[in-house]
């Protein structure tokens, strides 16, 4: 998952030590999941660099990308985007472990630099505790999820329950309403037929 913020200025520090900063452009908060692959990298890099979040020369909104405007991109690793709440406690087991996500993060930076201009892509200290200062322009904040990313666990559980209900309905056979719709219509009464209970009912309706 990626959160892209249109910014006027962004910087982050470790304590009092400045690590990285940009002017106008995009601050990208990157949450790497256990399921992410090179396919996700390709998709995210393409979207980050081509999102039309900026005005053109005539002031028309949503017309230009960060590359069109030759703005900067600051990419910050943010494993907390992979949070799953268990009650009120955040759980981060869906995030890729640090020993795997660090080379994955570096790969994204290199892909951004090779696709755009190396000097316009900024990274930082992976895994460090930082203070990030973001001046959001708009505010404009875009959430990007790659198509191959895993589905949200709640949505997955909901779909499983729906599937289980469908399977139970199939095992029980057609529903009552279905049987009623499928039941044949009663034939018209034969006037020569002997009167019985049905005849008594019909005579009662006519009275």
Beta bridge partners of 7: 25, 136
Q: Would residue 141 show up in a list of annotated catalytic residues for this protein?
A: no
Tell me which residue of 40, 66, 41, 32 sits closest to 140, measured CA to CA.
Answer: 66
Q: Annotated catalytic residue: which of 80, 115, 141, 207? A: 80
Question: How far apart, in whole angstroms, are the C-alpha atoms of residue 38 and residue 26?
Answer: 22
Tell me which residue of 132, 136, 143, 146 sits closest to 26, measured CA to CA.
Answer: 136
Asked if the peptide bond before residue 12 counts as cis, ω within 30 degrees of 0, the response is no
CB neighbour list of residue 33: distance below 8 Å, 6 or more residues apart = 1, 82, 94, 95, 96, 149, 150
CB neighbour list of residue 9: distance below 8 Å, 6 or more residues apart = 21, 22, 23, 24, 133, 135
Tell me which residue of 47, 65, 64 sits closest to 111, measured CA to CA.
Answer: 47
Catalytic site residues?
80
């Amino acid at each position: 998952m990626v959160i892209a913020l249109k910014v006027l200025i962004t910087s982050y520090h470790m304590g009092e030590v400045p690590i990285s900063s940009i002017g106008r452009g995009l601050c990208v908060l990157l949450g790497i999941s256990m399921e992410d692959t090179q396919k996700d990298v390709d998709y995210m890099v393409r979207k980050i660099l081509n999102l039309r979040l900026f005005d053109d020369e005539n002031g028309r909104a949503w017309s230009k990308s960060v590359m069109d405007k030759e703005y900067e991109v600051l990419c910050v690793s943010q494993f907390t985007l992979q949070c799953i709440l268990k009650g009120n406690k955040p759980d981060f087991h869906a995030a890729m472990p640090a020993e795997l996500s660090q080379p994955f993060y570096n790969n994204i930076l290199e892909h951004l630099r090779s696709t755009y201009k190396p000097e316009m892509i900024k990274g930082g200290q992976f895994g460090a505790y930082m203070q990030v200062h973001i001046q959001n322009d708009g505010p404009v904040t875009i959430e990007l999820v790659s198509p191959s990313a895993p589905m949200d666990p709640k949505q997955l559980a909901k779909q499983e329950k729906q599937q289980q209900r469908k399977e139970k309905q199939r095992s029980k056979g057609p529903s009552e309403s279905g049987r009623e719709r499928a039941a044949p219509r009663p034939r018209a009464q034969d006037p020569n037929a002997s009167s019985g209970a049905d005849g008594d009912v019909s005579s009662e309706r006519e009275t």
